[in-house]
Structure 1
């Protein structure tokens, strides 16, 4: 502990000492203030203020006027300037040239008068531009294009200002307090880790961003699977010629060392735009788990006290490259190839103490599991987009192929001893090989047709075909010392699934209200074939997924929204695999080939005040809830983890999100999410389940920039105790911290961070339901110190066109387990 504290202190001093020296250098002290008014002398609210150099009209800084039209600009260097004021509905306003010099360090600008720009053309009003924050039917949009906020900022810095979005010091992105957010760029899933995504966004010039879309309840246009929100970053079309890139190098240490490297390149020449990324990382981590459980078997109780010290090491390489070609100004074709390969090793020594009374052990079992896994994954996409006319009609096509290949070899050794140390039975030696292949083929088409200026029709279809082939070849060592086939564990499972989907969306815009209704249909045909036993599980079902979005502008800055959608979550391919994976003979995991999909009807009512503070009320009803559960075999006394379908879950939530500013150098975001999960299921382990508990989660992020070029970030979070299914999950809290320094004309950044500074993050679970009686205490390697260097080079204004492929949902299910 002392060594870690010294390490943190030394690194912090090394990073902060240049800042303290730099802070002593004289900084610009010029101050400018003024106000914006209408021709009638009333304040112009929230006008965008730009400070321009008088000689060339280049933008130096920007600010926003307050509700009374007042504005201020600090730290202005000596020179001659002009103030420009812009806001929706008014012509731009300009001040007369003025100077900041040694004798005039504080200047008050005469009121800038702004005339209304709305001009009557018969019955149509034409206005100048879109507002900064705009609430649409199914999403909130921050219009960045042509905004002063884009000047001098990168994509990550702009994203942090989007409504409801929080970015912590490790660059993890949450939406209204919920993790697992899908981040897209130009409607295309990124497939990047949090660190890789952060590198990409920090190397993207803000002047290339058109808008940022926040979608909390996706419409029928998107796959019906999943309930996570979407953040879609819309980039301007790339017209810059040249090359650019970004290099990231990082190292970390917790219980073990870690490192990561990433290189991103982009190049545009004429109609061709090419891009590529290669990343690699080595990550070794530790986990300590304790399980205390009681098993009733024929009126006799057995007490288990199990301790597992697990080490995992992961080496991964990933790549992504592609190109776009503009056949015409309205027709673009492209391809994307991405994949990864690597290896994963896990060493799991376990000590299991068995007794007839608490604390009294009659025997103990020493187990060692050594697992070695390799993976090779590949995906390719071909896409075509055609802008049919200038009215908005568009047609796009995507073809995708993905292949996941994983091979796992495992050796298990079990030794059983009496309390006096005498070996009770001969050692048990097992081994197995589990090759797994997943093939995914998809095709999709989307069509947009504006029927009028206020009415738009969207149509689309998607077809996917998935096949997973899983084998478990198991052996056991016999009395002669040779390994022979273990027929009780050897298995072969093949799962095939086809989904045919189509959707239609119709949107109508009125004066202050917008409405969108949609319907998605998905026909699923699947067959699970347990070849070893001849057991076949066929399923064929047709589902409809309606969605409705209503948005009403109460005032220019206050909006009210109501949405409804029906969603589906299909089991991951790994959860359907019925194979048994051992930790030891008393603890294992088993899939369930009979799992059914779960269906959710979700409602949300949200209110946005002053374009910043958001309050959302949510309710969802889920049937056939897929729930992870731990069961006990009374004969073998083994506990095993599997997934079952519970009857229903009702979820009630209130979410409050608000940015805050303490000073100009101290800002942050507060998010409070309160929820109640009620689970019901008939005849679960011989009783009717009806459990629920009111819980809440609070997150506060803070950014401090009181030293120029440096940023200090803090993220604190607390989650209260909660109940889900048959489990009581205890509270969890932690604090993360980091400091970053940008230099070399903002091309280079060095960052030092510590996750879980006080080492308090724990995963503790209790369960006492019917025959289940257990306590789980788990400590992961959560406190990790990281040092990262990022360097951006070349022309940062070029970026690749991004697209959403057709295999996104299927690949996400593949990542849930093989």
Structure 2
């Protein structure tokens, strides 16, 4: 593999050094280029530049300066010209005349200087409102910062409102009816387990989010992980000159009072951009769960009727600090440091009645548990963006390091009762401590080179290493003291290394484009349960992708995409530790899980850049599915590889306008998921069921008053062995701006009618159980947001080139 890596690096360097003469030979020599600066000598980015004939001031072409202040006009006919530059907050600037001659080489206009216009600065306020949902060529974008439903909500709550996205009772995220979603934050994934990812998303304040991108079929540039696509959460960065920021405070009431605060602050001056955020929250939450099981063993039938109350309190403290520095017009370096210190207290009160019928109780048990968890994380990202020339040749480099340190302490007390309610014997006392460490290193480089006017090459390499160390220290009480429980105590160490490279070729033609790509990933993993034989794996996979876009006319577009994806077992699913709800109900990982592979196909149609219709099909082999199995009178949850899953889906999204003050959007996603596998716990699986999700949002505007109402309906559907009941939810919010829009007050209610719940049945593989679960879903929220600092002059977002790093998420 080292030889392959060296060859790839050599090819990358050769491509980066590809003689520029070949690229320039395909272009006209009649080119005009220059740079725009302000009175301080700083580059003015995204200014409007017009090329005019000097004889009659006729506009010939127009463009914008890039973030280095550089502008370029290609294919200019010989003649006499002038340059006009305009930008908000500056006076108009016109250059001296210059001449373009045939085949005399590019014309470099002397550096242009534009002056501040104080009168314009004090008189103009720029406002722009993006739609809540935007459909782009390769992704759907949910503009969170413009939605009043976002403010006061967490990232996890906002995700549940995104088109085609669902979050189940265990916080697993699905897209268009399929699990296996890769979740990224600022183009970077967090390497967290599903439980840890849910914890992070719960502690991410909605006011820090700019947008959510839904990429159902990613290109080879992205990691191959995630069979149903990528959800990319974009956090806000500096958009304004000077110093500015916002402070948000939330008070909410569900079953208990919640509160949170968030501070965002930005400073941009000259070549330096500083940004940061601090968040704090105290979030109590409660849910109840009823599990009724019918178990038949050796001809004897027993009924287990469980009722569990699960109150919890979650505290979070997050920070994110960063800086971007333009070293030159060709080079931008950046650093982002982030971390959190969170803790959670879970109380579970579980009552189980056992009888030969649902009307009789032969015995009973109560298991009470207290679980205290702490989560700390520190991460640093160093990035550098090189603009190798003015033709679009770039090289982006990212270096990442993350350290997660988590710990869980649990105490369990189980009381056993006879049928008359008397104690059967002395209570059973157990306790666990589970320290867990995750360490991540990652390095990547992405290179882009336009080969001709219509052909662009993208290539890159990435190396990542992950080590997780989980130590389960279980103890039981023997009547006098706690002693080590050798049947449960253990240590599981998992390491993984992935070496990857990709190549994309993009060809644009009149009315459309084609992109062909391939990604190679070599994986080495080792799962070591101390005292057992380690599970070693190494495998090389290739992941091709194809994207075709065709514009039929001004209002009609077609697109087709194909990609092959992989889902490696996540760290929690591989961890074979046993975690108890009570002595008859537990969870256990599976160190022998294999990766699952998916081929995704999607055909799309876009009308008038707004209405989007897509048809999709995917075929997954060795699909990883959550299963509940029975051992005697005990039921346990684990994950297994089933043979195949076939998924068909239809997605329709359309915005609409009822009146000038009343707009909305609707999203319908219909799908069918079928699962097949033989000889699972002595039985076979062959089931499938059609389902659909319908979401609609109404937005009402009356001056500075804004209202939004969202309706979400999810039909009954199947996933693996589970039959999920229909779910529905209505949320609403109103907001009002004050103090020249610096202060915004919002009042909202999630699940207005308190009807959202998770109910599940299963009758597969010898199971016969029902789960009825109701969470703390109706939440009343009052939110105040104050914007301070320079809020009058807005410029485009300044970004580094290092926001393209994406990694793989783990599991519970």
How big is the shift at 1:699?
0.8
User: What is the DSSP-based 3-state SS (H/G/I as helix, E as strand, rest coil) of the residue aligned with 1:769?
Assistant: coil
* Alignment map for 1:230-241 (pairs within 5 Å): 230=231, 241=241
Q: Which residue does the alignment assign to 1:753?
A: 748
* Alignment map for 1:588-599 (pairs within 5 Å): 588-599=586-597
User: What is the DSSP-based 3-state SS (H/G/I as helix, E as strand, rest coil) of the residue aligned with 2:224?
Assistant: coil
Mapped partners of 2:205, 2:218: distance in 1: 22
Q: Are the equivalent residues in 1 in contact too, given 2:286–2:309 (CA < 8 A)?
A: yes
Mapped partners of 2:393, 2:238: distance in 1: 18
Q: Which residue does the alignment assign to 2:521?
A: 522
How big is the shift at 1:688?
2.1
Q: Are the equivalent residues in 1 in contact too, given 2:187–2:804 (CA < 8 A)?
A: no
User: What is the DSSP-based 3-state SS (H/G/I as helix, E as strand, rest coil) of the residue aligned with 1:575?
Assistant: helix
Q: Are the equivalent residues in 2 in contact too, given 1:650–1:679 (CA < 8 A)?
A: yes
Q: Which residue does the alignment assign to 1:357?
A: 357
Q: Are the equivalent residues in 2 in contact too, given 1:274–1:800 (CA < 8 A)?
A: no
Residues 65-105 of structure 1 deviation map (CA, whole Å, 9 limit, x = unaligned):
xxxxxxxxxxxxxxxxxxxxxxx99999xxxxxxxxxxxxx
Q: Which residue does the alignment assign to 2:109?
A: none
Q: Which residue does the alignment assign to 1:571?
A: 569
Mapped partners of 1:257, 1:606: distance in 2: 45
Q: Are the equivalent residues in 1 in contact too, given 2:337–2:380 (CA < 8 A)?
A: yes
Q: Are the equivalent residues in 2 in contact too, given 1:154–1:201 (CA < 8 A)?
A: no
Mapped partners of 1:723, 1:404: distance in 2: 35
Mapped partners of 1:307, 1:573: distance in 2: 30
Q: Which residue does the alignment assign to 1:228?
A: 229
Mapped partners of 1:758, 1:493: distance in 2: 45
Q: Which residue does the alignment assign to 2:493?
A: 494
Mapped partners of 2:472, 2:367: distance in 1: 21
Sort the Cα spacing of 1:326 and 1:335 in 2 relative to 1 into closer, same or farther, 3 A. same
Mapped partners of 1:716, 1:689: distance in 2: 34
Mapped partners of 2:127, 2:216: distance in 1: 25
How big is the shift at 1:724?
1.4
Q: Are the equivalent residues in 2 in contact too, given 1:304–1:353 (CA < 8 A)?
A: yes
Mapped partners of 2:351, 2:362: distance in 1: 14
1:555 pairs with 2:553: yes
* Alignment map for 1:145-224 (pairs within 5 Å): 152-153=126-127, 157-162=130-135, 164-165=140-141, 170-171=149-150, 172=158, 176-178=163-165, 193=201, 198-200=206-208, 215-224=215-224
Residues 315-361 of structure 1 deviation map (CA, whole Å, 9 limit, x = unaligned):
01000001111110110111110010121110001100000122211
Q: Are the equivalent residues in 1 in contact too, given 2:209–2:235 (CA < 8 A)?
A: no
Residues 33-87 of structure 1 deviation map (CA, whole Å, 9 limit, x = unaligned):
xxxxxxxxxxxxxxxxxxxxxxxxxxxxxxxxxxxxxxxxxxxxxxxxxxxxxxx
Mean Cα deviation higher: 762-771 or 793-802? 793-802
Q: Are the equivalent residues in 2 in contact too, given 1:170–1:195 (CA < 8 A)?
A: no
Q: Which residue does the alignment assign to 2:118?
A: none
User: What is the DSSP-based 3-state SS (H/G/I as helix, E as strand, rest coil) of the residue aligned with 1:778?
Assistant: strand
Q: Which residue does the alignment assign to 1:775?
A: 770
* Alignment map for 1:130-529 (pairs within 5 Å): 152-153=126-127, 157-162=130-135, 164-165=140-141, 170-171=149-150, 172=158, 176-178=163-165, 193=201, 198-200=206-208, 215-226=215-226, 227-230=228-231, 241-479=241-479, 481-529=480-528
1:741 pairs with 2:739: no
Q: Which residue does the alignment assign to 2:7?
A: none
How big is the shift at 1:807?
6.3
Sort the Cα spacing of 1:587 and 1:803 in 2 relative to 1 into closer, same or farther, 3 A. farther
How big is the shift at 1:427?
1.0
Q: Are the equivalent residues in 1 in contact too, given 2:414–2:427 (CA < 8 A)?
A: yes
Q: Which residue does the alignment assign to 2:652?
A: 656
Sort the Cα spacing of 1:807 and 1:570 in 2 relative to 1 into closer, same or farther, 3 A. farther
Q: Are the equivalent residues in 1 in contact too, given 2:237–2:266 (CA < 8 A)?
A: no
May I ask how many residue pairs the two structures share in their alignment?
661
How big is the shift at 1:187?
5.2
Sort the Cα spacing of 1:809 and 1:647 in 2 relative to 1 into closer, same or farther, 3 A. same
Mapped partners of 2:453, 2:336: distance in 1: 35
Sort the Cα spacing of 1:189 and 1:488 in 2 relative to 1 into closer, same or farther, 3 A. closer
How big is the shift at 1:228?
3.0
RMSD value, Cα:
2.9
How big is the shift at 1:429?
0.4
Mapped partners of 2:750, 2:561: distance in 1: 36
1:618 pairs with 2:616: yes
Q: Are the equivalent residues in 1 in contact too, given 2:503–2:518 (CA < 8 A)?
A: yes
Say which of 693, 703, 708 aligns to 1:713.
Answer: 708
Mapped partners of 2:234, 2:468: distance in 1: 33
How big is the shift at 1:177?
2.5
Mapped partners of 2:481, 2:643: distance in 1: 48
TM-score, normalization by structure 2 = 0.77
Q: Are the equivalent residues in 2 in contact too, given 1:165–1:176 (CA < 8 A)?
A: no
Mapped partners of 2:511, 2:741: distance in 1: 42
User: What is the DSSP-based 3-state SS (H/G/I as helix, E as strand, rest coil) of the residue aligned with 2:207?
Assistant: helix
Sort the Cα spacing of 1:195 and 1:566 in 2 relative to 1 into closer, same or farther, 3 A. same
1:684 pairs with 2:680: yes
Mapped partners of 2:595, 2:298: distance in 1: 36
Sort the Cα spacing of 1:214 and 1:763 in 2 relative to 1 into closer, same or farther, 3 A. closer
Q: Are the equivalent residues in 2 in contact too, given 1:185–1:232 (CA < 8 A)?
A: yes
Show structure 2 runs of 5+ residues with no match.
1-58, 64-73, 79-83, 85-123, 151-157, 167-172, 176-181, 191-196
Show structure 1 runs of 5+ residues with no match.
1-87, 93-117, 123-127, 129-149, 205-211
TM-score, normalization by structure 1 = 0.77
Mean Cα deviation higher: 432-441 or 584-593? 584-593
Mapped partners of 2:428, 2:60: distance in 1: 80
How big is the shift at 1:223?
1.0
Q: Which residue does the alignment assign to 1:609?
A: 607
Mapped partners of 2:492, 2:204: distance in 1: 35
Mapped partners of 1:534, 1:187: distance in 2: 38
Sort the Cα spacing of 1:725 and 1:119 in 2 relative to 1 into closer, same or farther, 3 A. same
Residues 649-681 of structure 1 deviation map (CA, whole Å, 9 limit, x = unaligned):
100011111001111111100111110001111
Q: Which residue does the alignment assign to 2:668?
A: 672
Residues 510-530 of structure 1 deviation map (CA, whole Å, 9 limit, x = unaligned):
111210000000000000001
Q: Are the equivalent residues in 2 in contact too, given 1:464–1:807 (CA < 8 A)?
A: no
